Amino acid sequence: MADVRDILELERPVTPELTKEALLSSKKRTVERKIVAKRPEGMHREVFALLYNDNKDAPPLLPTDTVSGYKKTKARLGMKKVRRWEWAPFVNPARTDGAVFHHWKRASDEQKEYPFAKFNKQLDIPTYTLNEYNAHLKTTKWTKQQTDHLFDLAKRFDVRFIIMCDRWERANYGIKSVEDLKERYYEVVGILNKVRNNGMEKKIYVFDAEHERRRKEQLKKLFDRTPKQVEEEQQLLNELKKIEARKKERERKTQDLQKLISQADQQQTEHHQKEQQQHQHQNQHPTTTQKKQDKKLNKKKIQQQPRTSKVDSVVSAVESAGIKFTDLRGTGVSLRSQKMKLPANVGQKKAKALEQALQEFKVDPNPPPIEEICVAFNELRSDMVLLCELRTALATCNFELESLKHQYEALCPGKTLNIPAALVNPPEDDSTGEGDGSSAMDCGMAV
């Protein structure tokens, strides 16, 4: 400012002379101001900040805006000119009354269609003539006036049946429920589509009013249950869970027992095979004494050994063959496809053999779960398991026949036992593709 006053030849106020002492005193003042008071020991930082600030002033009692803040900041405006806005009229194409509205828009913007008009979606409500009604739509439950009123409400309220039932004029057209309105509406729409398209309509929606009434009635009963009934139902569900858990435990124990029985049978067959090999080796160079001893030993074994033990086990296995599918009688919602699920007592070998058999006979492993298909598919798989058990029984019986034949030849040397070929090798059915027992089920389940 001193230089400006000199240039303008204005009088300049007297300024004190700048000396060394003056500079040193000003520095001391700034240093003293920068000294910050020390926070007392044991006092929290937040509490000390309330008691002290840089100006050593007391904390304010009320909030103020006097400090530098948003009120003193200057707006940073550009140097461009502001675009002009105008109060312009516009028309909504969704309205049919020609109403004109106004809104603000920039003057440079082009006039466009109202953007929110695209959300005005109108349903295609069919109409019918008097001849069509008399020819196809006449019923005893509905009059033409009631049907006209129904379609008028459908057009006004976009087929919102709850609102249509509320706006239904009961004084003039009688009392109608929501299900009645839906049933009549979809009935008329289906008949019109069928008549106008000459029966070429792919799918016509049919509303099942009785099912909807039963559903609502059951739902009302469910909501009207007392706390005592809810508690009783919960107890029954808990008991059902306990019964199912005990049933699964029994099935698991039965499966383990079947595994043990199959292992014991396998060991017994191996033992028989070893004994037969030993007898055959001894019979190659027999002496008279050895022959007598072998006859006595074989007679004792034949008398002591229960011949029908193996056969009885096979017969019992065949009688209990098949798959017993459980009925789904739960209280909750269940899928019909769960009926085709294999029970837990079916082993992995049986399941794999069934899968291979279905592939061999070209049967869909996952058919559509219609009631009739579910029953037929379960019976088919049960018959397949029975077929596997019969083949296993046949192989076991052939093995028993061969062992008895060897025993007879050992007891009566020089004589042969003629077994009919039909018993050992039954006739094959080439049409079924079973062949010589090399099918998928033989590979998975034969003994």
Residue with tokens 């001893």: 293
Are 340 and 377 spatial neighbours (Cβ–Cβ below 8 Å)? Answer: yes
Give 27-37 pLDDT, tens digit per residue. Answer: 555 544 555 56
Are 388 and 444 spatial neighbours (Cβ–Cβ below 8 Å)? Answer: yes
Are 378 and 343 spatial neighbours (Cβ–Cβ below 8 Å)? Answer: no
Give the pLDDT confidence score for residue 443 in this predicted structure.
Answer: 43
> Is residue 444 pLDDT above 50, yes or no?
no
Name the band, by pLDDT with cuts 50, 70 and 90, for residue 397.
confident
Are 411 and 293 spatial neighbours (Cβ–Cβ below 8 Å)? Answer: no
Give 176-234 pLDDT, tens digit per residue. Answer: 999 999 999 999 999 998 888 876 666 778 899 999 999 999 999 999 999 999 999 99
Task: Kindly report the pTM of this predicted structure.
Answer: 0.40
Q: 78-87, 99-108, 222-231, 290-299 — which is least confidently predicted?
A: 290-299
Q: DSSP characters for 80-125?
A: SPPPPEEEEEEE-TT-SS--EEEEEEETTSPP---GGGGG------
> Is residue 297 pLDDT above 80, yes or no?
no
Give 127-167 pLDDT, tens digit per residue. Answer: 999 999 998 899 989 999 999 999 999 999 999 999 999 99
Give 359-372 pLDDT, tens digit per residue. Answer: 888 888 888 888 88
β-partners of residue 391 are none
Cα 81 to Cα 431: distance, rounded to the nearest angstrom = 94
Give 51-96 pLDDT, tens digit per residue. Answer: 756 565 665 666 665 555 555 556 666 667 778 999 999 999 888 8
Cα 151 to Cα 115: distance, rounded to the nearest angstrom = 30
